[in-house]
Structure 1
Amino acid sequence: MPILYEDKHVVCDDDALTIKRYHFPLGSKRIPYADIRRVDDTPMGMLTGKLRIWGMGPAPIWFHLDMDRPGKDRCILIDRGGFMKIALTPDDHESVLALLRERAGRSRDA
């Protein structure tokens, strides 16, 4: 499968998004684009994920391991229709956001 985008956090290929360092200790999670119901561009603040290095806080949002997250201001929120959402903080936010919106076909600006 051709890789459309890759950095140390994510891989986007023709069929799916793979989130690196998602599971403990360092397992990846692959999500077919067809399983993504919604993609949101979401601001992060001190209490809303900016300081979360890995895991989940009080909100049902899972953050993959990203030691650089405190220096980032936005995340991509992925909704697959379940209780928990996924917050994604790729190195090139705009490129991954555009790819996911195009491939998933459903989006909303936050």
Structure 2
Amino acid sequence: MPSYFGPVLYEDEFVQLTEDMLTIKRYFFPLMRNKCVQTRHLRIAYFDDQESSKYANIRSWGKAANGVYWAVDYRRCLPGDKLGKTNVVIDIEDGVMKGFTVKDVQAFFDSLRMVAPNSLIIVDNLNI
């Protein structure tokens, strides 16, 4: 399905990626409005599967102690089935890192690499 920002390269219930825009769904509290980030501004992307994420560094929604503001995913911090879900944090060097969930991290990063700047650094852990 095309979006206002062009054809959709990746989408799940948490995020949508087009050539020009990364849309983090249900980001702002309390209205659950989306956060849009231009792909050309991406500098660093961290990721780790939810099964091995440390609860001290993540939240279900809101700002964590390490400076990451998390989009809503109420199951992120709850025990249970997390198979296949991944926590992703992006840094555009604006002072607040943005955290969200993706369902298919391989497809997400394959699509992101096609549109992000060549200087994008991808780190396979959330030790921020």
With structure 2 as the length reference, what TM-score do the two structures score?
Answer: 0.73
Equivalences, count: 108
1:61 alignment counterpart: 68
In the superposition, relative to structure 1, how do residues 3 and 74 fare at CA in structure 2: closer, same or farther (>3 Å)?
A: closer
- The 3 A distance-change label for structure 1 pair 100 and 7 is same
Identity %, equivalent residues: 27
What is residue 46 of structure 2 aligned with on the other side?
40
TM-score in terms of structure 1 length: 0.84
Of structures 1 and 2, the larger Rg is shown by 2
Instruction: Name the amino acid aligned to 2:65.
Output: P
Counterpart residue type for residue 47 of structure 2: D
Unaligned runs of 5+ in 1: none
Asked if 1:4 is matched to 2:6, the reply is: no
RMSD: 1.9
Query: Is contact 1:101-1:107 (8 Å) kept?
Result: no
- Please list every run of 5 or more consecutive structure 2 residues that lacks an aligned counterpart in the other structure: 1-5
